[in-house]
Amino acid sequence: MSNTPMTSVRTTSSAADEVARNSPALSFEGVSMVFPDGTHALNETSFDVRPGEFVTVVGPSGCGKSTLLKIASGLNKPTSGTVTVDRSRIGYVFQDATLLQWRNVLRNVELMAELEGMPKGERRDKALQAIKLVGLDGFEAKYPKQLSGGMKMRASLARSLVLDPSVFLFDEPFGAVDEITREYLNDEVIKLFQLNEFAGLFITHSISEAVFLSTRVLVMSARPGRIVADFAVPFEYPRRPELRFEPEFAALSGRVSHELRGAHS
Amino acid sequence: MTMYAPASKGLAITPPAQALELVGPQKRPFQISRLAGPVVVFALFIGLWYFMHYKGLRLLFDKPGERLIPLPTDVWRATVVSEGTRGDYVSGIGWTAVAAYGGLAITIVLGLLLAVVMLQARWAEGAIYPYLVALQAIPVLAIVPIIYVIFGGSMSARLFVCIMISFFPIVTNALFGMKSVDRSQHDLFTLRRASRWTRLVKLQLPSALPAIFTGFRISAGLSIIGAVVGEQFFRGGSKPGVGIVIEKWRTKGVYPPLWGGIIIACLMGIGTFLVFGIVQRLAVGHWYDGETQKD
């Protein structure tokens, strides 16, 4: 399979935007990862994520999907290969909400900006905006132990939004919430994606979540992981929940599923 | 019959009402049955006391329970009704509190500092830990002369004993708490290249607060023991704490006021433990739900 990125499915953009889109916001080139214990997590993985692209990686569990994000964000260093990304504006949503239990929602949402040294007034304004955007207004003073799983994830999303990320990494963020909540959170992510035009890299093992959210779906093989298939997703944004039940959606999901089965063996 | 029409949702996404319901522990109403356990156990305890006085000690060990374990009423009379002894103990409680809480305050400061030092490097922890365990194992009696020469025979020596006895739980609990920070919470700070100091102040210390307070509670009880033991060895100065009053009656072989002193020391320990429990709840109760849940 070739590593050349597919043409963007979005057509409504000016020439200036087009130039910006041509240089990737995040680029993996021949990235391999072998952990000190000998686990070969990634093998010569190469792909780009351009601004305005939302790329989802699906793959068998333990195939090194999450490692991609750790390498992209600088938490892990690859054994070989290069990653090109502007790390000053990375948003990262973890599998757990990872809220600080001793901080209320507002102070949690402020955290990233606070660590970045943003002045207090500015970060408070941005945090309040982000909280509103994810539909948590009215809950600013609540502590994590008072929130449901879905609400915690919303707070976690808001926390990353405050830094206005140009690259947004999602590490299977909605794996632990029930299906309806997951669908709402998917809508939320799409809304944020449309408003902020970041480059998204989303890890999941739900095929329908992958197809629903993305402009591109990459399928990863079992360990050592590498990209074995690359699907462009043609559906228009905003994507309505009913899209999940349309034949084109099912057909594409079927093709992704087929590749994924191949990837398992 | 319900009609389902395809709803077209735009950008405004409103979560369903039930998703926004607050979850969290519900306050349980006070139940009289929760008192039943403590009342029954207390009754059994008093019953056992009477039994040991009249029969138990004689049956089990062939020793005079009537003399060694005086009745609660006699203890009360000798300790509280007798004005002289009562006065001794009331001022004694004050001096013991000075030694215990003074020692505890010093222990908290030194213990937390040491825990932070041990947190900085695995080798530091490994190197220091054996000495902490050793500190626990030192028989106080054996080093009494040394303490006497260095700190004198009064308050400073008692403070020293108190610190020695209450040091370990504070350090180990604080260290355990700070080391138990969730891995992905650390990642969060690593992403923004947080300094060690920022990590300590904004992540490790607040996250460890419940454990730190647990250490405080354990050490607070121990500090009372430390103060009383310290007083028994270092009786100098004009600050006779509970331990010194106990010693007076022990040397005289008068058991009712001696038992009174023991009970007073126990009550001080329990009271301190409870007070620190309340302080803990006030400090972290609004966010900590008592489980090891991390997010």
Cβ proximity of B265 and B96 under 8 Å: yes
Kindly determine whether residue A102 and residue B209, on different chains, have CB atoms separated by under 8 Å.
yes
Distance CA B97, CA A187 (A): 61
pLDDT along chain A (265 residues), means of 10: 40 51 84 89 90 91 84 91 88 92 95 92 94 92 92 93 91 87 89 88 92 93 86 90 91 92 73
- Sequence-distant (6+) residues with CB within 8 A of A32 are A40, A42, A43, A44, A45, A78, A79, A80, A81, A224
Kindly determine whether residue B15 and residue A147, on different chains, have CB atoms separated by under 8 Å.
no
Instruction: State the pLDDT at residue B11.
Output: 40
Measure CA A82 to chain center.
20
| pLDDT digits 0-9 by tens, B137-189 | 888 889 999 999 999 888 899 999 999 999 999 999 999 999 999 998 999 99
Cβ proximity of A123 and A144 under 8 Å: no
Distance CA A30, CA B95 (A): 72
**Searching chain A, which residue's CA lies closest to the CA of residue B284?**
A102
Token pair for A210: 């992958």
Tally the residues of chain B.
Answer: 295
Range of lowest pLDDT (B31-35, B68-72, B254-258): B31-35
Mean per-residue pLDDT of chain B: 86
Token pair for B169: 């739980």
CA neighbor of B68 nearest in space, from B261, B262, B247, B254: B254
| pLDDT digits 0-9 by tens, B124-143 | 999 999 999 998 888 888 99
| pLDDT digits 0-9 by tens, B228-249 | 999 988 987 778 899 999 999 9
Contacts made by residues B94-97, CB under 8 angstroms, sequence distance 24+: B94/B241, B95/B231, B95/B239, B95/B240, B95/B241, B95/B242, B95/B244, B96/B224, B96/B227, B96/B228, B96/B231, B96/B241, B96/B242, B96/B243, B96/B265, B96/B268, B97/B227, B97/B268
ipTM rounded to 2 decimals: 0.84
Distance CA B205, CA B177 (A): 8
Residue B14 has pLDDT above 60, yes or no: no
**Searching chain B, which residue's CA lies closest to the CA of residue A153?**
B295
Cβ proximity of A142 and B23 under 8 Å: no
**Residues paired with residue A48 on neighbouring β-strands, in sequence order:** A27
Contact residues, chain B to chain A, C-beta under 8 Å = 6, 8-11, 13-16, 19-25, 182, 184-185, 187-192, 194, 198, 202-203, 206-207, 209, 284, 286-289, 293-295
Structure-token match 């792909």, residue found: A47
Among partner residues A74, A75, A144, which is closest to B295 by beta-carbon distance?
Answer: A144
DSSP B253: T
Instruction: State the pLDDT at residue A195.
Output: 86
Contacts of B288 in chain A (CB under 8 A): 101-102, 145
